[in-house]
């Protein structure tokens, strides 16, 4: 896994800044993007991945996009929570913002509660 170039990070953030104040953080050798509440995207190398659920995953798969994956000693691991954003979406600011908004909603919906906020029984 490689860190995305500064130019790529700037490009993505420039196109997404209008939807919400965004924060970036280091994320497993790449960059995580959050809206302050949930991480909804990540960049590994010069690829942008959005959080998906069973419903939204379909349009990524129909577009031929792949989930984030990495190699281990035991083979390739797929992380089906994150799917690569299609090139035609990356180059269309309006469409990119729409897909990002959808990813934020999915990330919020599927967010696991913090350990500190869990109720003990």
pTM here is 0.85
Secondary structure percentages of the chain, helix, strand, coil, to 5 = 35, 30, 35
Question: Under 8 Å CB-to-CB from 70, ≥6 apart: which residues?
Answer: 1, 76, 77, 79
Question: Under 8 Å CB-to-CB from 21, ≥6 apart: which residues?
Answer: 35, 36
Task: Taking the CA atoms of 92, 68, 105 and 23 in sequence, report the sign of the dihedral they define.
Answer: negative
Residue 120: pLDDT band (50, 70, 90) is low
Q: Which domains does the chain have, with CATH numbers?
A: 6-111 (3.30.1460.30)
Percentage, residues of the chain above pLDDT 90: 62
Residue 116: pLDDT band (50, 70, 90) is low
**pLDDT tens digits for range 67-107:** 988 888 999 988 889 999 999 999 999 999 999 999 999 99
């Amino acid at each position: 896994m490689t860190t995305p170039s500064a130019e790529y990070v700037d490009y993505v953030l420039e196109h997404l800044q209008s939807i919400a104040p965004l924060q970036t953080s280091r994320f497993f050798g790449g960059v995580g993007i959050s809206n302050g509440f949930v991480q909804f995207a990540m960049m590994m190398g010069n690829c942008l991945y959005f959080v998906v659920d069973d419903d939204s995953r379909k349009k990524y798969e129909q577009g031929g996009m792949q989930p984030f994956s990495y190699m281990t000693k035991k083979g390739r691991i797929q992380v089906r929570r994150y799917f690569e954003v299609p090139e035609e979406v990356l180059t269309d600011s309006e469409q990119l913002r729409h897909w990002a908004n959808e990813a934020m909603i999915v990330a919020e919906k599927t967010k696991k509660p913090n350990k500190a906020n869990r109720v003990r029984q």
